[in-house]
Amino acid sequence: MLVEDYSHKRFTIAQIAAAAGVSIATVSKVINQRSDVSAATRARVERVIAERGYVTNRISVSLKKERMGLVNLVVPSLHAPSCLEILRGVEEMLPQAHLRLTLTCAHTAENDERQWLNSVIDGSVEGVVLVLAEETERYWHQLRTQGLPFVIIDRPGELGPNSPSVSTTHWAGGRAAVQYLHSLGHRHIGFILDSQAMSCTRDRLAGYRAALEEARIPFNADLIHYGSTTLNAGYVETGKLLDQDHPPTALLTETDEQALGAYRALHERGIRIPEEVSVISFEETILAHTITPSLTTIRQPLYEMGRTAVTMLQNLLEGKALNGTRVELATPLIERNSCGPRRRSHSLEDSSPDHRHQWQKNQIKGA
């Protein structure tokens, strides 16, 4: 009789589920010693695990009730203030979920990616939270293939229906920013964006264009500039916008760092904020509070996104059904001191009072 030797193979939770004829969630329940699994099903899953030695250093620990509880947070950089805010939310929520953190800075090099994947699969990591700066579908496809639970924060592209994610209302934020600036009399609004490949960028631009259309303002492609999310990009692209024959009276940026670069470019040219040019950022990091004048933002709830992702991942690890695979958090306007009436009008009373009143209602006032 031919007996297959599994001793030198590694098996994923998905393969264990298929071999046992159960769902991945059921295997997770068995691993985590949940009581809501029948004795017969539990015995069948444990037998398959024992026969196939599924990632022994992960399963054997779990079955002995000595769960490591490690979660891998993958971020594009630790230099970006937005990533630090997400990290803060993740770190605060992990103890409540009885989980611990490992941190990975994502790289695009194939060898680095393979090394990361091997460390996740072969180690004691039980789940992954992904914050990706570009459309790298291969990351979550590989995790899904390996049967490892994951949640994506601020999806970089279009996800399938079974890919859990936490994002924000990017389209509504883009529309709200333009509506607010229009209420102050602005019609010539520049927009400094990241990559056209990013779905969040496309959504914000679509919201921007929708608000222009509602206000019957023609769309001007010359006012749309693309760069990275850095301070330098904000500085360079703002300079290009100011060099136009008809420079904008207001600027939108996708990050607070870009806004800081815009501040620098405006300051060097002797242009005052907000008396001559207004600035709004799509973020909400510590920079918004610390620069002068303080920065009006379309708030991205980064901290809450980190917390929500951990809650979703905990439910996946415990075999619980999610209320929905896609969570979108609201993006309110935080009004500070970087926006004012268009230059020709130096009083708020002259700039669309009805629209102004609409924005003053129910808005969160920043520090």
Q: How many CB atoms lie within 10 A of CB 35?
A: 6
Overall average pLDDT of the 1-7 stretch: 39
- With vertex at residue 168, the alpha carbon angle to CA 265 and CA 264, rounded to the nearest 5 degrees, is 5
pLDDT for 86 beyond 90: yes
Q: Could you tell me which residues are beta bridge partners of residue 192?
A: 225, 253
DSSP letter at 322 equals P
Note the pLDDT tens digit of each residue in 308-333.
999 999 998 888 888 888 899 999 99
Q: How many CB atoms lie within 10 A of CB 102?
A: 16
Cα–Cα distances in Å, from 322 out to 139, 161, 229, 319? 21, 12, 32, 9
Note the pLDDT tens digit of each residue in 152-202.
998 655 666 678 999 999 999 999 999 999 999 999 999 999 887 788 899
Strand ranges inside the chain, DSSP E: 70-75, 100-105, 125-131, 150-153, 165-168, 189-193, 224-226, 250-253, 278-281, 296-298, 326-329, 333-335, 364-365
pLDDT band at 134 (very low <50, low <70, confident <90, very high): low
Fold of the domain built from segment(s) 70-168+302-329 = Rossmann fold (3.40.50)
pLDDT band at 249 (very low <50, low <70, confident <90, very high): very high
pLDDT for 77 beyond 50: yes
- HSE of 155, CA atoms in CB hemisphere, 13 A: 25
pLDDT for 357 beyond 60: no
106 versus 74: the higher-pLDDT residue is 74
* E strand or H helix at 242: helix 231-242
pLDDT for 234 beyond 80: yes
Say whether 173 sits in a helix, a strand or coil.
Answer: helix
At the second CATH level, the architecture of 170-301+331-365 is 3-Layer(aba) Sandwich (3.40)
pLDDT, residue 108, reads 53
Q: Could you tell me whether strands 296-298 and 333-335 are parallel, antiparallel, or unpaired per DSSP bridges?
A: antiparallel
pLDDT for 346 beyond 70: no
First to last CA, the chain: 75
pLDDT band at 339 (very low <50, low <70, confident <90, very high): very high
| Residue 274: cis peptide before it, omega within 30 degrees of 0 | yes
pLDDT, residue 247, reads 96
pLDDT, residue 349, reads 35
pLDDT, residue 204, reads 96
DSSP string, 30-65: HHTT-SSS-HHHHHHHHHHHHHHTTTHHHHHHHHTT
160 versus 282: the higher-pLDDT residue is 282
Q: Could you tell me which residues are beta bridge partners of residue 129?
A: 73, 151
Overall average pLDDT of the 201-230 stretch: 96
pLDDT, residue 279, reads 98
- With vertex at residue 45, the alpha carbon angle to CA 44 and CA 50, rounded to the nearest 5 degrees, is 100
What's the token pair of residue 363? 């808005």
Output the pTM of the full model. Answer: 0.74
User: Do 70-168+302-329 and 170-301+331-365 fold alike per CATH?
Assistant: yes
Closest CA to 332 of 361, 312, 356: 361
Q: Could you tell me which residues are beta bridge partners of residue 296?
A: 280
pLDDT, residue 189, reads 98
pLDDT band at 6 (very low <50, low <70, confident <90, very high): very low
Note the pLDDT tens digit of each residue in 20-73.
888 767 877 787 777 778 888 988 988 888 776 554 444 444 444 445 688 989
Look over the chain and give the mean of its residue pLDDT values, rounded to a whole number: 82
pLDDT band at 238 (very low <50, low <70, confident <90, very high): very high
Q: Spell out the residues 6+ positions from residue 156 whose beta carbon is closer than 8 angstroms to its own.
A: 132, 133, 134, 135, 136, 197, 198, 199, 200
125 versus 40: the higher-pLDDT residue is 40
What's the token pair of residue 352? 């669309």
pLDDT band at 1 (very low <50, low <70, confident <90, very high): very low
pLDDT for 213 beyond 70: yes
Backbone angles phi and psi of 291, in degrees to 5: -80, 160
CATH number of 13-63, picked from 1.20.1050, 1.10.10, 1.10.357, 1.10.260: 1.10.260
Q: Per-domain residue ranges for the chain?
A: 13-63, 70-168+302-329, 170-301+331-365
pLDDT, residue 347, reads 36
